[in-house]
Amino acid sequence: MGFPAESLERMYRNDMEHVVKFLNSHHQDHYKVYNLCSERNYDTSRFDHRVAHYPFDDHNPPRIELIRPFCEDVMQWLAEDKDNVAAIHCKAGKGRTGVMICALLLHQGRCLTAAESMEYYGKIRTTDGKGVTIPSQRRYVQYYGELVKRNTLYKTQTVLLKRVQLYTIPMMSSGTCCPFFTVHQHKVKIHTQEAVKGVKKGLSCVEFELPHALPIRDDVKIEFYHKSGLLKMDKRLMFHMWFNTYFIVHPIQPDKDYFGQARSHSRPTSTVSCPSPDQARAPFAEDEMLNGGEEFVLELHKDEIDKANKDKTNKVFSPNLKVKLFFARGREDQVPPTPEPSEGNLSPSQSENDLLDDQDLDDGTDSGDEDCIYETSESSVV
Closest of 342, 311, 308 to residue 323, by C-alpha: 308
Q: Tell how far CA 159 is from the center of its chain.
A: 19
Cβ-in-10-Å burial (0-12, 13-18, 19+) of 106 comes to buried
Closest of 319, 205, 220 to residue 260, by C-alpha: 319
190 neighbors 337 (Cβ within 8 angstroms): yes
Active-site residue, from 90, 102, 111, 177: 90
Active site residue 90: yes
Enumerate residues 6+ apart whose C-beta is below 8 A from 70.
Answer: 34, 52, 54, 62, 100, 103, 104
Active site residues: 90
